Amino acid sequence: MTPDERHIKRINRYLRKINGLFDDLVRDIALLVVKQRLTGKIFRFRDYQKITTQVSNALNTYHDNLFSSIQTYTKYEWDYGNAKVSEILAENLAKIKGKVSGLAYDVKLKEISTHSQNKKALEAFQERKKGKFTVSDRVWNITKQAKENLEIAIDDALSEGMSAQDLARKIKHNLNDPDKLFRRVRDKHGNLVLSKNAQSFHPGQGVYRSAHKNALRLAANEINTAYREAEQLRIMSNNDVVGQKINLSPQHKVYDMCDELQGSYPKDFNWSSWHVGCKCFRTMILKSQSELITEINNSQNLSPEASANFVSGVPDNFHSWLSENRETLEKRKSKPYFLEENKEKLKHLL
């Protein structure tokens, strides 16, 4: 298994844990709600004052656990990305071990481990804003949405005398198909009542009606981006890396933009994925062994441009993709992430 395949497996493991957080929330809420006398109005937590505090405690716990899970797993994959790069660079160096002075070799090796200590950059990454929002803001939004999701699911699921376990099961079942749930509750209470109470069921483009799905997507995306970002910083900071190649995953089956954009890119091309859920991975393009040997023996640390392998621009297929999609891109409200991230470098093309 390659490190990138392992990275995907690790993400799936984290997502299973995050899945459990929502289950915990549903269980806690079901336990509280099942003891309440129903009013016949559309279900809202605020109409049940005896449990208001406990409900907000449960939601706060969900928020805190989701947020700290994302931070923890982001750090894990940040470190994993760093370790992967260090290993590849050290292996590459090991191939020329007998051909350079022992001292120079040690200096090079030390440089690799020094670069891997980029803790400040991890903090900046975890606190960054994407669009207008930080991860913390996004987790708050998801928690608010989860509250409304639960109210609507409970409205449909709860009947007096049922057990908390049954209620929890029914809530989860209801939230698996938010569209159907929404229609049922609308038929029961009428359109007007429901639409006032269910803003979160009309989220914007690219957002799920299910808070839980949004949580999983946010987590997956953050954790993957952390891995890529750590990798990117290492690629940029090491002179022996002279470019990057973005490859299709072996699991890639359906032809899409990934096929059209794969190829060799400059090392400072900021890349984490082509699209949400993209499984492409990158490899580093390094100086040749003979270049490295000559350089080290001359006590030099030449810039990447000096290498015959240096990648100076985006590939031709990137240009054709851009011109083929120009019209569609101009109509879009938000540009793909990789275009935003490389705006300066691609200025002459955009």
Contact segment (CB under 5 A) with Zn ion among 11-19, 214-222, 272-280, 337-345 equals 272-280
Assess contact for 243 and 267: CB atoms under 8 A. yes
Rounded-to-integer distance, Cα 278 and Cα 220, Å: 11
Is residue 280 a contact residue for Zn ion (CB under 5 A)?
yes
Minimum gap (Å) between residue 345 Cβ and Zn ion: 20
Beta strands in 15-71 (DSSP E): none
Minimum gap (Å) between residue 275 Cβ and Zn ion: 6
Minimum gap (Å) between residue 252 Cβ and Zn ion: 7
Cα atoms found within 13 Å of the Cα of residue 128, Cβ hemisphere only: 14
Is residue 278 a contact residue for Zn ion (CB under 5 A)?
yes
Structure tokens at 65: 């656990």
Contact segment (CB under 5 A) with Zn ion among 21-29, 174-182, 207-215, 250-258 equals 250-258
- Site mask, Zn ion, residues 190-229, x = CB under 5 A? ----------------------------------------
**Among residues 14, 227, 274, 337, which is the contact residue for Zn ion, using CB under 5 A?**
274
Is residue 269 a contact residue for Zn ion (CB under 5 A)?
no
Structure-derived torsion over alpha carbons of residues 12, 16, 21, 24, reported in degrees to the nearest 10: 170
Rounded-to-integer distance, Cα 280 and Cα 268, Å: 18
Rounded-to-integer distance, Cα 187 and Cα 179, Å: 12
Minimum gap (Å) between residue 142 Cβ and Zn ion: 25
Minimum gap (Å) between residue 258 Cβ and Zn ion: 3
Is residue 22 a contact residue for Zn ion (CB under 5 A)?
no
Q: What DSSP assignment string belongs to 85-103?
A: HHHHHHHHHHTTGGGS-HH
**Among residues 258, 286, 292, 296, which is the contact residue for Zn ion, using CB under 5 A?**
258
Contact segment (CB under 5 A) with Zn ion among 59-67, 134-142, 253-261, 305-313 equals 253-261
Assess contact for 66 and 21: CB atoms under 8 A. yes
Minimum gap (Å) between residue 212 Cβ and Zn ion: 25
Is residue 286 a contact residue for Zn ion (CB under 5 A)?
no
Among residues 73 and 271, whose Cβ is nearest to Zn ion? 271
* 349 DSSP assignment: T
Assess contact for 200 and 149: CB atoms under 8 A. yes
Among residues 183 and 275, whose Cβ is nearest to Zn ion? 275
- In angstroms, how far is CA 225 from the centroid of its own chain? 5
Contact segment (CB under 5 A) with Zn ion among 53-61, 207-215, 235-243, 266-274 equals 266-274
Rounded-to-integer distance, Cα 125 and Cα 123, Å: 5
Where does this chain bind Zn ion (CB under 5 A)? 258, 274, 278, 280
